[in-house]
Structure 1
């Protein structure tokens, strides 16, 4: 699942692939926003991404898609 996180007052967004489902990511974002704590997610390589909820600009949760290898004719 591709995740893009926009942080306030930062020009670049955080972009990473996560093994978590869209529902798990949505629940983590909602919990961080309601509690005012930090958003903590894990990427597909096991690294932790931690962002203070007060600085979140947006969280874009992309659809998980299988990457194709080679040349496709469609």
Structure 2
């Protein structure tokens, strides 16, 4: 499943499908922001952003809710907005 990743990386690849956190990332010299819904917790996203900005990682690496990876050079991050965790709604019903 996680070929090429170490044990520490496998722990960060854990994605919860029942809770989504919207993440908006502004990239320097890019006209549009990157928006993704992540199955990672808000704390995991914040930790990954903090590590990238502190120089512990050259890339900010996040997983979206479909398991895809988004990689952004840490020195190009302008801002990161982390939304509140929201449970996914299934089915049809009144809002």
TM bucket normalised to smaller: 0.7 to 0.9
Residue in structure 2 matched with residue 5 of structure 1 by the alignment: 25
Listed as ranges, the matches of 1:44-63 within 5 Å are: 44-63=65-84
Tell me the secondary structure at the aligned position of residue 87 of structure 2. coil
Which ranges of 4 or more aligned residues in structure 1 deviate by more than 6 Å? none
Stretches of structure 1 that go unaligned for 5 or more consecutive residues are none
Q: How many residues are matched? A: 72
The structure with higher relative contact order (CA 8 Å, sep 6+) is: 1
Normalised to the residue count of structure 1, the TM-score between the two structures is 0.87
Displacement of 1:70 in angstroms is 3.5
Normalised to the residue count of structure 2, the TM-score between the two structures is 0.69
- Give the superposed CA RMSD: 1.4
Listed as ranges, the matches of 1:1-74 within 5 Å are: 1-35=21-55, 37-66=58-87, 69-72=92-95
Displacement of 1:64 in angstroms is 1.7
